[in-house]
């Protein structure tokens, strides 16, 4: 039995928003549902992690935001959801091929601005099983608001080039909101 969604407000604050609130959720959830294990990398307060776990998909939620992870643990109950406190700018403390799905939602542009995107994508490729899927939700290069300044947003060509350098293959993003795209990238089998 799934625990009910809580009415307790999740932790928030500047930069603690979730794409879950304003994108086509059904498409994202359908893309990752059924995976044997999904990594929600940079999970924040865990909206995507909870949604995936509620449909029976095992999730490992990873973030360095302690308050968000604590709230997520409380919400998880008996769901197939575990949390891991880790910095995405460092090597992921996971075995090779540990998951067949991964989600990176509104995180890549932050890491790219610090020069950490190539390393993270290489780490994701390492921990994905052959044939595994990485879903990236990212702001499209259209004028804000909402979201970060245009200068911070990544072009689809850059996202795909970073992914290719890490050994992941995919195509142009599919719009899932007026200003957000969904990239589906695979690790070759």
How many helices (H) and strands (E) in the chain? 6, 8
pLDDT band per the 50, 70, 90 thresholds, residue 34: confident
What was the pLDDT predicted at 26? Answer: 93
> pLDDT by residue (tens digit) across 105-116?
999 999 999 999
- Is residue 47 within 8 Å of residue 71, measured between CB atoms? no
Buried b (16+ CB within 10 A) or exposed e, 36-64: ebbbbbbbbbbbbbbbbbbeebbbbbbbe
Q: Cα–Cα distance between 73 and 25 in angstroms, integer?
A: 22
pLDDT band per the 50, 70, 90 thresholds, residue 22: confident
pLDDT band per the 50, 70, 90 thresholds, residue 15: very low
pLDDT band per the 50, 70, 90 thresholds, residue 147: confident
Q: Cα–Cα distance between 28 and 122 in angstroms, integer?
A: 22
Q: What is the number of other CB atoms lying within 10 angstroms of the CB of residue 124?
A: 26
pLDDT band per the 50, 70, 90 thresholds, residue 7: very low
User: Strand, coil or helix: what is 82?
Assistant: strand
């Amino acid at each position: 039995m799934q625990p009910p969604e809580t009415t307790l407000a999740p932790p928030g604050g500047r930069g603690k928003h979730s794409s879950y609130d304003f994108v086509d959720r059904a498409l994202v959830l359908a893309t990752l549902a059924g995976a044997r294990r999904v990594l929600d990398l940079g999970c924040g307060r865990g909206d995507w992690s909870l949604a995936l776990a509620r449909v029976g998909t095992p999730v490992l939620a990873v973030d360095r935001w302690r308050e968000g992870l604590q709230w997520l643990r409380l919400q998880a109950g008996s769901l197939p959801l575990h949390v891991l406190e880790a910095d995405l700018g460092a090597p992921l403390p996971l075995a090779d091929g540990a998951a067949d799905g991964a989600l990176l939602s509104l995180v890549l542009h932050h890491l790219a601005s610090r020069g950490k995107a190539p390393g993270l994508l290489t780490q994701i490729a390492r921990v994905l099983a052959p044939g595994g899927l990485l879903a990236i939700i990212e702001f499209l290069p259209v004028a804000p608001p909402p979201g970060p300044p245009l200068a911070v947003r990544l072009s689809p060509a850059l996202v795909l080039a970073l992914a290719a350098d890490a050994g992941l293959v995919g195509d142009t993003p599919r719009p899932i909101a007026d200003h957000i795209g969904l990239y589906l990238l695979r690790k070759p089998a």
